[in-house]
Structure 1
Amino acid sequence: MTSTKQGTLSRGDAGALIGFCIAGVAIAAYITVFSISRIIALLSGTMVPVLVEFVDQPIEAPLGANGENITLELDRASITVPSLPPVAIGAGILGQIAQIVTIVVVIGCLMLLARSILTGAVFSRRNTRLVMAAGIVGLVGFAAVQFFENMLSNAAVAEVTDNAVDNAVISIEPFTFVLAAFIISVIGTAFVIGDRLQRETEGLV
């Protein structure tokens, strides 16, 4: 005989999960509004601020004790582009769309997971799928966002400098990506094992 009885959460745990859901909605709304504003700015095509990363780019700045120039190594800066080429606008818009989709899907999966936990069902195949879906979409989505942002920044530098600066930077950190994938795999494995152990335990009751 099997049992389908679910555990119950304390008021503190339930309150924390509800607070998590509220925070998730707020984050998704903020990111969506920010991305839409960014898309509108990109569509204007003029005087658009763009965050740019450089590789060993030396610059001179008057930071010496008597105002003399000191050579610095620039690795990141924000530049305002008078006019963006269509390829840069398209890449920037795709990046913002990818960001909206990624955030909404990830937070949506986690909120469904929280809702399931609020009912007392922590380990289940559905919850395992939600965790893995959130992790995979997050990894792929944020990598796509960074890829399109790199295209935008490189095109912006080429436009401003008339291709005088070689700034083909692809700034997706392999270690961060691998670490995130490892953490997601561990969490997913924990849910798979938890689901199996729970089903085995229920089968003994």
Structure 2
Amino acid sequence: MQNSVQLEPHLSRADRVSMWILMAAGAAIAVTTAVFAGIRIAEVLGNHDVEVLGEFTGTLAQAPIGPDGALIEVELDRAVLTVPSLPGAAVAALVLQQLAVVATIWTLVTTLGLVTVSAMRGRTFSRRNTRLVGTAGIVGVLGFAAVPFFGNMGANAAFAQLSQGTFDNVIMAVDLFPFVLGAFVAALAGTVFAVGDRLRREAEGLV
């Protein structure tokens, strides 16, 4: 007598088409990210009139948003700074920021793409896929922290350069809520795949 257990869900043609579309979109995002990062790195390495996004805290400015363009006092949150040139450490930080963006996006697209291909072949839950999902989660969380970290280093150097060290606006800001939420989602996904793999192995043992 033969016993059969369906360990993996059957994928319909529509499911497979959707997966191919998602993988194509991921590849397009990865390539686009690399292109824009390359453009930004070239701009930074040129080190002439470099635009840097700076964050402010408690800094007042005037904006022409009143009647007939009258100046109204506002509090700056962020602004683009144009710096004639940056010190070497700031240039390195901004280049590392773009490399971190590319490394994060490419790792996420590659690992999740491999998981998708495995699912299309009828094996969603496995130790390999659990490791891939775990890698994607860890890299995503680290990348989320590294990108603004290097960006803040470059911005603070820009403030110091423009003000000749007289404007104290040193900020190292990372929005904690998305960071914690991303870490939770990564941990949850890793747990789901680990449990799914264990249940699959247990079910295979019953066949």
Interval containing the TM-score (normalised by the shorter chain): over 0.9
Q: 8 Å contact 2:41–2:98 — kept in the other structure? A: yes
Superposition map of 1:53-132 within 5 A: 53-65=55-67, 67-132=69-134
CA change 1:67–1:142 in 2 (3 A) is: closer
Q: 8 Å contact 1:8–1:119 — kept in the other structure? A: no
Whether 1:138 and 2:140 are equivalent positions in the alignment is yes
Structure 2: distance between partners of 1:178 and 1:7: 32
Superposition map of 1:147-158 within 5 A: 147-158=149-160
Which whole-Å deviations, capped at 9, do the CAs of 1:44-82 have from their partners, x for residues lacking one?
A: 101111111111111123433265432100001112111
Q: 8 Å contact 2:7–2:200 — kept in the other structure? A: no
Q: 8 Å contact 2:5–2:203 — kept in the other structure? A: no
Superposition map of 1:163-202 within 5 A: 163-202=165-204
Q: 8 Å contact 1:50–1:156 — kept in the other structure? A: yes
CA change 1:3–1:72 in 2 (3 A) is: same
Cα offset for 1:200? 1.1
TM-score (norm 1): 0.93
Q: 8 Å contact 2:64–2:72 — kept in the other structure? A: yes
Structure 2: distance between partners of 1:4 and 1:39: 50
Cα offset for 1:188? 0.9
Structure 2: distance between partners of 1:180 and 1:164: 37
Cα offset for 1:126? 0.7
Which whole-Å deviations, capped at 9, do the CAs of 1:21-57 have from their partners, x for residues lacking one?
A: 1111100000001111111000110111111111111
Match of 1:8 in 2: 10
TM-score (norm 2): 0.93
3-state secondary structure, aligned to 1:74: strand
Q: 8 Å contact 1:2–1:204 — kept in the other structure? A: no
3-state secondary structure, aligned to 1:186: helix
Q: 8 Å contact 1:7–1:121 — kept in the other structure? A: no
Give the unaligned 5+ runs of structure 1: none
Structure 2: distance between partners of 1:151 and 1:72: 25
How many aligned positions are there?
A: 205
Q: 8 Å contact 1:3–1:203 — kept in the other structure? A: no
Cα offset for 1:144? 1.1
Cα offset for 1:7? 4.5
Structure 1: distance between partners of 2:53 and 2:43: 14
3-state secondary structure, aligned to 1:76: strand
Q: 8 Å contact 2:144–2:179 — kept in the other structure? A: no
